[in-house]
Amino acid sequence: MAMHRNLPLPDAPSRNRPAPRLRWTRLASPAAFYPLAGRLAPWFFALALAWLAIGLWLGFAVAPTDAQQGEVYRIIFIHVPAAWMSMFIYVLMAGYSALALVLRTRVSSLMAQALAPTGAMFTFLALWTGALWGKPTWGTYWVWDARLTSELILLFLYLGYIALASAIEEPRRAERACAVLALVGVANIPIIYFSVQWWNTLHQGASVSLTAAPTMAATMLAGMLAMALACWMYTIAVALVRVRCLLRERGEIGAPAREAMP
């Protein structure tokens, strides 16, 4: 019996092993996030280029010509993914802003700020390509219908967010003000999405839906989804690079995972 008294308990090695939740929480620390972002960014850039090549090939070489609009319809392979990203990025910014206000994590605030310029770019691209598509389709570059107007408001929200972050010198105050603006402005996203159902607009209904079969050819859908994936990979890569720049600029590297915001 004495031989068995010194044997370790079966669960003894697991007592010193960090819980999975704690390992994930550690990524909220700038010191842990900074090197991880540096390792991941090149991979996301490479994925963005790969999906972009696939999407352009499917959209401009493989997809058939539209029976009604002809070749001009191919602008959807840029316009639609840009419009999707303009909304998705703002929702993501609002989510990071909520985390920053509730959990007081610095990386969440910086992620929201890093996403804002890319969201503004995609919103402008959606409006610009929509105008180019609207001229041959509707006979005009711009009409003040519900979807176009709400998308323009989204661009102003992005620009206002960026301007607010630059106008307030104290970083913590700027983060709180920007977080409030992002959470208030997110109410515009359902207005953009449901505008074609709530009001009489020139825009057609959604061609891609989670609850219904797509109303376009399979190659058209594949090209559009490939371009959307390219936009997502690019967004992630650029956001990671921007967060690293913000961390260096503010001297946050090595800061604790959670810092109280005033």
pLDDT single digits (tens) 26-47: 666 777 888 888 999 999 999 9
pLDDT at 253 over 50: yes
User: What is the distance between the alpha carbons of residues 121 and 117, in angstroms, rounded to a whole number?
Assistant: 6
Is residue 49, in this structure, part of any structural domain at all? Answer: no
Q: Is residue 98 part of a domain?
A: yes
> pTM for the whole thing?
0.81
- What pLDDT shows up at residue 161? 95
- What's the domain range around 93? 73-250
Whose CA is closest to 123, among 185, 74, 179?
Answer: 185
Number of structural domains in the chain? 1
Structural domain includes residue 32: no
pLDDT for position 190: 92
256 pLDDT more than 50: no
- Residue 236, in any domain of the structure: yes
Mean pLDDT of 175-197: 89
Backbone dihedral angles phi then psi of residue 148, each to the nearest 5 degrees: -65, -40
Is residue 190, in this structure, part of any structural domain at all? yes
Angle 205-209-210 from CA coordinates, rounded to 5°: 155
Q: Is-contact 60 75, C-beta < 8 A?
A: no
With respect to residue 211, please indicate whether it lies within any of the assigned structural domains.
yes
- Give domain status of residue 63, yes or no: no
Whether residue 246 is contained in a domain is answered as yes
Least confident of 79-88, 116-125, 186-195: 186-195
